[in-house]
Amino acid sequence: MAEMADKAGKERTGGGIARREFIVAAGLALAFPGLAGARAAVTSTADREDLALWYDQPAGPWVEALPVGNGRIGAMVFGRVAQERLQLNEDTLFAGGPHNPNNPAMRAALPRVRALIDAGRYQEASDLAERDLLGKPGRQMPYGTAGDLLIDFDDATAPATYRRSLDLDSAIATTQLGSASVREVFASTADQVVVAHFSSPGKTFGFQVRYRHPDKATYDSTRLTEPVTQAGKGGAAWDHREDARVSQRPASLSVRGDGAGCLLVEGHNIASFGIDGALRYAVRIKAVGDGEIVVDGDRIEVRNATQVTLLVALATSYVDFRDVSGDPVAIVRRQVDAAARKPYGMLKNDHLAAHRAQFRNFALRLDIPAQDRRTTKARILDVERAPDPAMAALYVQYARYLLLSCSRPGSQPANLQGLWNEGVNPPWGSKYTININTEMNYWPAGPANLGVCVEPLVRMVEDLAVNGAVTARDGYGARGWVAHHNTDLWRSTAPIDGAKYGIWPMGGAWLCMSLWDHYEYHPDAAYLRRIYPLLKGASQFFLDTLVEDPQGRGLVTSPSLSPENAHRPGVALCAGPAMDSQILRDLFAVTAQAHALLLEKDKEFVAALEKTRARLPADRIGAQGQLQEWLDDWDAAAPEQQHRHVSHLYAIYPSSQLNVRDTPALIAAAKHTLNTRGDKSTGWATAWRLCLWARMGEGDRAHAILLGLMGPERSYPNLFDAHPPFQIDGNFGGAAGILEMLVQSWGGEIRLLPALPSSWRGGALRGVRARGGVEIDIEWKAGRFTRAVLRGPAGKVVQIRDGAQLVALTLDGNGQAIYR
């Protein structure tokens, strides 16, 4: 898994904070300043990539704050003048602890549920499943915040000028107060601490640092179109202050001094749904600077300083999903002490090197944008009314920044909110919803050249295979492993959330396809050997559990459902929904392919895969001309005609079983379905629609959907996706859709500009990846492709689809080819 190794520190830090020059070099399509060798060149200052979010006011609600993260820990930075707020997260701080959620009644009840479904008695089947198939408890553990640091500045006054920004190239949130006072916040991958640096040359300052426990945090779903009050009582935006006192501080919480300039917070996670909290957590804060720094009880006092650095470390006792015996206090002490031995300049340079080693391998420019003087908030408000192609490029780079910030080797995978949430019981638990949302989080990882971010997902699937084997054996009497529609830190695999949502056995199978997707973008034999047991185990489960459809239509899953959509009022349970067969066609095919590539010897297993795959029901066109969501033609009578999920279109995107080249009639049926569902939906569902229209070559339709996704109905002021409330999958799905408009790779071909909208007349893209391990630079002018440079394994033959033309290119001895 060489492609997954974190290359932190292997590139020089370079320059360019808010924007970077965009270069078209002779012999290569694109480059950026600071890149080595032939990619370095000089360009006009007109060619620039927009890489900053910026605002002229402090953040009021949480959805205006700016995120920083290193995969494992993160903070939301509010940029307030009188009182800075840093809301903290640590990626293992879930509620509860290790437990067995499997329902002991499941195996005996399963045949009865199947019989009721076969008889068409769906409500009775649903009622029985609700009672005897769901896990115990019937919910999973929520992810929570690690609290707030509130930093109260002495004698704060309104600044003459104000700007707060998030630079994506440096991964630093900056607040500029007047001409000299600067505050910088970043989450260091190199040093595993959040760093907050305050400087005011020529003028001393002081502040107090206090910790606030999140005992009664609430969630803000404020939309950008609604007025936001940023002032405290009777004050202006600049002097916003929040109360640091905790009205009901948990008895287990301790805040005390821990050495020179240090505070140590110790606490426990919460219980949830009857599962006791088993985790201990710790937060350690150290102030280093040129002023007087003392610890006074539960606060740090700083006086007469011109520059101060706060170092914040967070950890829990989590070792793995079965082991909570870690020592978080020892971890945070070690991390802070190590970071404190470095001057601020070294901390910053090491952070920049680690971030840029991954971030700078990709670039996107749409048209030649003039320097935009509007705030990001204003651009979001205007994006549906005024042309702003650069906003789409910024949206892609922001998604790349977010993925790097919430999913790094060694961290947990990106959850429903990535890494960031401000309470202890967030919407949908901020868990891992694996009937679309977790998979969508990783859709841009391949094309956006962020394969390193997939490593946490691989480890999670390996964990799920352990617990999922118990669920398969005890609940289904099957080999292999299974996971349903949701999981959490404790890798629960039993069905939860009621029969309408939870009795869907395909979550693990779809995750396997995400792992295979990474292999296709980064072919590597060692990685393939690692994931093959996961593919095989997932396949074995379905070889054992598929059943004959009573009407002779093939082998089907039962019980199952088409994720979250009811086929009659209040009832979703069924057998053989279209999505299940589509996922299984892919799973069985790639498992057999991996078997062949690895020269495995179990011929009987592969024969069973091929035989079973041939008996899966084919996709069907219903009486309305739509692609059927269920085995029966129930679509017209389904109660939600504009349902957010479009599960049965999985076969088009992210799969490619149905496509414009090979199955035009089924593509036409899919378009009928999408027209019925409508373009506007929840944030992530809008992003999925964008991806689908792009995959089908409909650039202007995809672009219209994208404008809605980036506009004020589906983007918060900080550009977080609004489900609402915030879910990060919409950001990642939207970025994947934009890239799908520019480059596609499926069916053995690479398609250049397959869904270019008419409004993106010119542009350039560097470092986009395609399946087969190929990296591409492209440029276009006046709506027409002009040039591409391809890089990959020497001697590889690449099929390029350029409009109606299919061109075979062979990469030379240096692993490069130039097209046109």
Percent of the chain with pLDDT over 90: 85
Average pLDDT value over all residues in the chain: 90
- The phi-psi region of residue 438 (left if phi > 0; otherwise alpha if psi is between -120 and 50; otherwise beta) is alpha
Whether residue 668 is predicted with pLDDT greater than 50 in this model: the reply is: yes
pTM greater than 0.95: no
What is the model's pLDDT at position 25? 34
Q: Tell me the sheet residues that pair with 806.
A: 801
- Could you report the per-residue pLDDT of 52-91, keeping only the tens digit for each? 999 999 999 999 999 999 999 999 999 999 999 999 999 9
Q: How far apart are CA 775 and CA 688, in angstroms?
A: 24
Nearest to 736 by CA among 675, 687, 664: 687
What is the model's pLDDT at position 423? 86
Domains, the chain, in order of start with CATH, read: 52-94+141-359 (2.70.98.50)
Q: Which residues are CB-contacts of 682 (< 8 A; sequence separation ≥ 6)?
A: 644, 723, 724, 727, 730
- Could you report the per-residue pLDDT of 382-400, keeping only the tens digit for each? 999 988 999 999 999 999 9
Count, residues in the chain: 820
Q: How many CB atoms lie within 10 A of CB 43?
A: 15
DSSP label of 428: G
Q: How far apart are CA 419 and CA 91, in angstroms?
A: 6
The crossing angle, in degrees rounded to 10, of helices 525-545 and 507-521 is: 150
Q: Label residue 658 by pLDDT band (50, 70, 90).
A: very high
Dihedral sign for Cα atoms in the order 126, 131, 136, 142? positive
Mean pLDDT value across residues 613-634 = 97
- Could you report the per-residue pLDDT of 343-372, keeping only the tens digit for each? 999 999 999 999 999 999 999 999 866 667
What is the model's pLDDT at position 253? 86
Q: Label residue 630 by pLDDT band (50, 70, 90).
A: very high
Q: How far apart are CA 52 and CA 785, in angstroms?
A: 28
Mean pLDDT value across residues 718-732 = 96
Q: Which residues of 775-802 are buried (b: 16+ CB within 10 A; e: fewer)?
A: bbbbbbeeeebebbbbbbeeebebebbb
Whether residue 260 is predicted with pLDDT greater than 90 in this model: the reply is: yes
What is the model's pLDDT at position 431? 96
Dihedral sign for Cα atoms in the order 650, 652, 654, 657? positive
What is the model's pLDDT at position 218? 54
Mean pLDDT value across residues 578-585 = 98
Mean pLDDT value across residues 100-112 = 97
Q: How far apart are CA 490 and CA 346, in angstroms?
A: 37
The tokens describing 336, both together, are 């802070």
Q: Which residues are CB-contacts of 760 (< 8 A; sequence separation ≥ 6)?
A: 366, 367, 389, 392, 703, 741, 783
The tokens describing 150, both together, are 């509130």
Q: β-pairing, 743-746 with 749-752?
A: antiparallel
Q: How many CB atoms lie within 10 A of CB 607?
A: 11
The crossing angle, in degrees rounded to 10, of helices 525-545 and 603-614 is: 60
Nearest to 690 by CA among 722, 649, 640, 661: 649
What is the model's pLDDT at position 250? 61
- Could you report the per-residue pLDDT of 560-574, keeping only the tens digit for each? 999 999 999 999 999
Q: Can you state the percent helix, strand and coil of the chain, rounding each to 5?
A: 30, 25, 45
Whether residue 772 is predicted with pLDDT greater than 70 in this model: the reply is: yes
Q: CA 102 → CA 106, 652, 799, 802, distances in Å?
A: 8, 34, 48, 52
Cβ(201)–Cβ(306) below 8 Å: yes
Secondary structure (3-state) at 751: strand
Whether residue 231 is predicted with pLDDT greater than 80 in this model: the reply is: no
The tokens describing 108, both together, are 């005996």
Q: Among the listed ranges 83-92, 152-161, 221-230, 290-299, which one has the minimum average pLDDT value?
A: 221-230
Whether residue 2 is predicted with pLDDT greater than 80 in this model: the reply is: no
Strand order in the sheet with 193-199: 52-55, 162-167, 172-177, 181-188, 193-199, 307-316, 280-289, 262-268, 254-257
Q: β-pairing, 363-366 with 148-153?
A: unpaired
Q: How far apart are CA 544 and CA 559, in angstroms?
A: 14
What is the model's pLDDT at position 24? 29
- Could you report the per-residue pLDDT of 488-546, keeping only the tens digit for each? 999 999 999 999 999 999 999 999 999 999 999 999 999 999 999 999 999 999 999 99
What is the model's pLDDT at position 41? 26
- Could you report the per-residue pLDDT of 416-460, keeping only the tens digit for each? 999 999 988 888 999 999 999 999 999 999 999 999 999 999 999
Whether residue 217 is predicted with pLDDT greater than 90 in this model: the reply is: no
Dihedral sign for Cα atoms in the order 471, 72, 728, 511? negative
Whether residue 219 is predicted with pLDDT greater than 90 in this model: the reply is: no
What is the model's pLDDT at position 35? 30
Mean pLDDT value across residues 479-494 = 98
What is the model's pLDDT at position 39? 35
- Could you report the per-residue pLDDT of 25-60, keeping only the tens digit for each? 332 333 332 233 223 222 232 345 789 999 999 999
Mean pLDDT value across residues 319-328 = 98
Q: How far apart are CA 691 and CA 730, in angstroms?
A: 11
Cβ(238)–Cβ(158) below 8 Å: yes
Q: Among the listed ranges 9-23, 98-112, 262-276, 468-482, which one has the minimum average pLDDT value?
A: 9-23
Whether residue 221 is predicted with pLDDT greater than 80 in this model: the reply is: no
Whether residue 575 is predicted with pLDDT greater than 50 in this model: the reply is: yes
